[in-house]
Amino acid sequence: MQLLVEADLKQCFGLQFVASEFSPQGDLRIDTLAFDPEQKSFVIIEFKRGNSWSVIDQGATYLSLLLDRRDSFVLKLNQIHNTRLMPKDIDWEASRVIFVAPSFNAYQEGSLGFRDLPIELWEIRRYENGIIALNRIQTSRKNARLSDLDNTSGDLKKVRKEIKQYSVDDHFKEGWGDSRELFDILLSQLLKLHPNFAVNAMKGYISLKLGWRNVYYIHVQKSGLVIDYARSQPKDFKDPEGRVKYVNGSMEYYNQHVSNFAIRSEDDIPYAIMLAKQVLKKYDKNNS
């Protein structure tokens, strides 16, 4: 499994391969070390076969190792990709662990209920001719926090302190009721466009994802929203009012072309959805 995923890491998870069996300290070895060029953060991927292991404990151990040995991780990345990044250039707050396994038990899936746990679970299936399929385990119940656990380990405390999992609510300040109302209306309309959309809150935006790919990025402002359309330029749209704008510097920041549309009132939402449908149609065509 590991070799197949590593051979096509960009297609599987949108990540850059850094190292296999990476061991920056002692006998604790990371199956696959990857880098997220969009978030500028490290991703640890672990491959599992059985079900007798703890998602929370093992995830915290690997993330603690990452935080303790930052220089070693950055050095390895620079060696492999011939870059000159410094630890300050990395978003350590966005670090995460991906567990890949043929299946997960109820307790492991239940760990996803912690909204501040930077861990993903992906089921993998292998077919003939080396074909693999990956499916992310999702949960709509994210009410608990790691701080609710009694007697948490030192690793877990360090993860809670230094790695931040954002929620949709984090993007709305007090008095931003207008933008929250617009967001709720827009989100409800976008979610109708595809049954597999997942809402993903990051530090600077809220995105809708299919698999690992972000399709739309939503930026919240005090009295409005800006929706970014991934992998698109204004020339790609049927835009009769000429309202789509190109995001300058998007290739440097997102590593892709991005266009956006400003939403200032509820009257703008139908136009935003019309543009969103065009992006989704292009996405389905390119990934069919």
Domain regions of the chain by residue span = 2-162, 168-286
Q: Which residues pair with 43 in a beta bridge?
A: 34, 96
CA distances from 241 to 29, 237, 275 (A): 55, 11, 11
Provide the whole-model pTM.
0.82
> 195 to each of 6, 104, 168, 208, 285, how far by Cα in Å?
28, 23, 20, 11, 17
What CATH architecture applies to the domain 168-286?
Alpha-Beta Complex (3.90)
CA atoms lying within 13 Å on the CB side of residue 42: 29
CATH 3.20.20.10 fits 2-162, yes or no: no
Task: Assess contact for 185 and 175: CB atoms under 8 A.
Answer: no
In whole angstroms, what separates CA 270 from the centre of its chain? 27
Digit-by-digit pLDDT tens for the chain (288 residues) are 888 899 989 989 999 999 999 998 777 899 999 999 888 999 999 999 888 888 988 999 999 999 999 999 999 999 999 999 999 999 999 999 999 999 999 989 988 888 778 999 999 998 887 788 999 888 766 667 766 665 566 788 888 888 888 889 999 999 999 999 999 999 999 999 999 898 989 889 999 999 888 999 999 999 999 999 999 999 999 999 999 999 998 888 777 899 999 999 999 999 999 999 999 998 887 776
| 6/16 Cα distance (integer angstroms) | 9
Is the sign of the CA dihedral 108, 112, 117, 123 positive or negative?
positive
Supply angle C-alpha 2, 29, 91, rounded to 5. 85
